[in-house]
Amino acid sequence: MAMILLGIDTGGTFTDFIYRDQSAWKVYKTLSTPQAPAQAVLKGIRHIAGTGAVQVVHGSTVATNALLERKGAPTALITNSGFEDVLEIGRQNREELYRFVNQKPRPLVPRNMRFGIPCRVDARGAVSRNLSRSDLENIAQVMAQSGAQSIAVCFLYSFLNPRHETLVKKALTDLSLPVSLSHDILPEFREFERTVATVCNAYVLPKMKSYLDELSGDENIQALRIMQSNGGSISARTAGQEPVRTILSGPAGGVVGAFELGKQAGFEKLITFDMGGTSTDVALVDGKLPLTTEALIAGLPLNVSTIHIHTVGAGGGSIAELDSGGSLKVGPESAGADPGPICYGKGEKITVTDANLLLGRLLPDHFLGGDIRLDRQQVLTAFQTLSKRLGIPELELAEGVLAVANAGMERAVRVISVERGFDPGEFTLFSFGGAGGMHAADLARLLGIPRVLVPKHPGILSAMGMLLSDIIKDFSLTIMSREKTTPRHIRSLFRQLERQGRASISREGVRPEDIILEHYLDMRYQGQSFELMVPFDDKYQTRFHDLHEKTYGFADRNRAVEIVNIRLRARGRTEAPNFEALPPGGATPPEAAIIDRRPVCFEGKWRPSLVLDREKLMAGNSFQGPAVLIEYSSTLVVPPFAKGRVDSLGNVILDILKKENHNPQISRINAD
């Protein structure tokens, strides 16, 4: 039996699988097991492959959850004497300017686990105070007695001269503890951000390594790659050493999948909308993957390379309840996989999924191919109880829940588009995730987006993106070049990173002819505190001025510019899976695709609606809303103001009629 290639994405509610069985792509979903995430992964592999061999590309939430829940390993930090509190002092930025009592996130390493050594490298990389043998022996003894299960080492200017960090790691060898060095994790200036990244890596490393060892030890899994936050995958061995690069691996897989499938469909300007059970992730793709080095996770700056994704606590499992003022709020608390929404049979709190079910937009007998039967009567009882408190009908309350959830997601899209100088009307909304299809058309109308693209198997797209991803590693170096320089000089500076990148990608098993090197510069005007990342070519100066004007609304083309960091993105091309075109059909859906005609509630009225089996639609089919399209991994709601069509790749494209941006349900429910 041939080895099966599997893409796996672990979410807060479901764990998703996509794989090729003989000539067809197939999908599978199972409830996640948050307390032991490997159980759901291995259960799915057994269901798909039995005792056969599999090759896996996997997006994991293990490192993410360890950070968010503060459940990482007891970690020690070794740094320069006098700099033990950099981690706690941080920056003076205040996210909430008008909050009287500003509470910073609690440091991952407490004060009694932060240790200083009297050594120093200066700003030119020269050693001004060396490490003595007694210093090294003493710190090894202290670490042995500290109770630490992981160690982070971060010295000033180690990105210029890493000798002291290397000596400390060697001195700790006999302790058999994982040691994270800052010059390996983030060889850049700004000691606070470098310390945070190194500490985060050390904090989640034991948990991530244990998880990966459990998967790698399974007899079915013959090869295992892990998705990174930067949109590329790496070997499980590398991910076990640098887990900080996997913090946003699941959402990154979704953006990669949307980018690749969008290009095939002829759309390169996308706003990706990934609504799952716990949260919603949005990103703006303007012809290329959006990269950033300024991610913020659990209140901590994570300056490793990531796809620029904005997340809000709104998903199918988001709980709807009244706040202290009596107004309806939705999320960020989620019912998760256990107990889940009320309709799953164990939950007791109303969720977004329950509201969709009550309105007829989610069909009780067609959820996950009928594997889970949804309980509408139990949902109705819960809505009746809450609607009596509010004094409004159950259906109006259900539409209000959706309106509040949609408003939160609308704000998220505006953050990554309007607030960055982009007009949403110039983009296509690429909707995926298990719950995305039920909200995409409404969201597009609120934002003035003219069309929505929903791929095949939208609930599994993040897993699909992992199969489409290349092997990618990012390298950076602070050079702080203030003098006027030339493209030729900059290319000479990249040579060290190029050698490092080629060697590292080769160790991942990539042939030399499949390695691609991409060059970027972090640039700013002299006197500025933050940089913009610009692709490097002979016109890098012009590119910087143009990007600065687009981002901030102005550019001073006569002002001196400095290059702060150089960045290399080393890409190892992998063999992408093939997708077959759909057979052509007529303008109307075939009779076999029409499952039913039933009432669905839109804007307070029950409207007769088509129920279509998406798997039986053919290229060229079109249909007018209202309609509901069902498939195994997701449900697509087509309101009366949308018209759908199927393209040659099986994508459903919804054309949206414009409407005034107003949510009457929010106004009514939250009125005094």
Looking at residue 324, the DSSP 8-state letter turns out to be T
- pLDDT score, position 22: 66
* Distance between CA atoms of residues 76 and 111, nearest Å: 9
* Distance between CA atoms of residues 594 and 612, nearest Å: 5
3-state secondary structure of 273: strand
Cβ-proximal residues to 508 (8 Å cutoff; 6+ apart), any chain: 234, 235, 238, 471, 473, 572
Classify each residue of 86-99 as buried b or exposed e, where b means 16 or more C-beta atoms within 10 Å of its C-beta: bbeebeeeeeeeee
* Residue from 485, 442, 372, 464 nearest 603 by CA: 442
Region of residue 488 (left: phi > 0; alpha: psi -120 to 50; beta: else): alpha
Contact 549, 559 (CB under 8 A): no
- pLDDT score, position 136: 95
CB-based burial label for 69 (10 Å; 0-12, 13-18, 19+): exposed
* Distance between CA atoms of residues 288 and 574, nearest Å: 18
- pLDDT score, position 664: 46
Kindly report the CA angle at 656 between 654 and 660, in degrees rounded to 5?
Answer: 155
Q: What is the pTM of this model?
A: 0.88
Residue 536 tokens read as 């490097």
CB-based burial label for 258 (10 Å; 0-12, 13-18, 19+): buried
- pLDDT score, position 370: 63
- pLDDT score, position 652: 96
Helix H, strand E, coil C: the string for 580-626 is CCCCECCCCCCHHHEEEEEEEEECCEEEEEEEEEHHHCCECCEEECC
Kindly report the CA angle at 138 between 134 and 139, in degrees rounded to 5?
Answer: 120
- pLDDT score, position 1: 55
- pLDDT score, position 671: 42
- Mean pLDDT per 10-residue run, the chain (672 residues)? 84 84 80 88 92 90 85 96 93 78 86 95 93 94 96 96 96 96 93 95 95 92 93 92 91 93 94 89 93 85 91 86 84 78 85 92 78 83 90 92 93 92 94 92 96 93 91 91 82 93 92 94 92 93 92 90 94 81 86 92 94 93 94 92 94 85 47 40
Distances (CA, A) of 641 to 174, 436, 458, 659: 68, 17, 22, 9
